[in-house]
Structures are given as C-alpha cells and as structure tokens.
Amino acid sequence: MLFDLVSILWRLAVVSAAIAVILHFLGTDATEVLSQINATPADIGALIARGWALALPNLMLGIVVIIPLWLIIFMMRPPRN
C-alpha cells in the first residue's frame, strides 16, 4: 500500500516536471497562466483553504466512524492458523 502511494507521488512529480519543461520551452510561465484565468496566487491559496475547510469536518467524521468499526471487526476475526 505504501509502495502504491510512493509510486503515485513519483509519477505525479515526473508528469508535473515534464509539463513544466514543455511550458518553459513554449515560453509560458505561471503568471501568464494565472492572468489568462483572471486569478492571483492569493485567489488560488484562498480556494485551497476553502476546500480544506469544507473537507476537514467530513474527513474527521469519517475517521471517527471508520477507525472504531475497523478495530471492532479486526478484534472479532478468528485467529489465523
């Protein structure tokens, strides 16, 4: 499971670097992209903060429900031979 996470993060980093190189060769930078969509870095940061504020309560609720259920199911399983 950890290998899958590391593999996904590695692939994401490689693809991001490849896209950055392509955009650099095309003469485009982050400020141009943001100006085309009429956004500032502060706007992007505010969107991320707002998304985190919306997701955090649901994430915590899921943790509060799932972890105790997992522990109960784990303890009720029969022992392995």
- pLDDT tens figures, 50-74: 999 999 999 999 999 999 999 999 8
Query: For residue 31, which of 19, 41, 23 has the smallest C-alpha distance?
Result: 41
pTM for the full predicted model: 0.54
User: Is 39 in contact with 45 (CB distance < 8 Å)?
Assistant: no
37-49 tens-digit pLDDT: 999 989 999 999 9
User: Is 23 in contact with 29 (CB distance < 8 Å)?
Assistant: yes
CA–CA dist 42, 66 (Å, integer): 35
CA–CA dist 36, 10 (Å, integer): 29
CA–CA dist 33, 42 (Å, integer): 14
Name the residue ranges covered by the structural domains of the chain.
1-38, 41-81
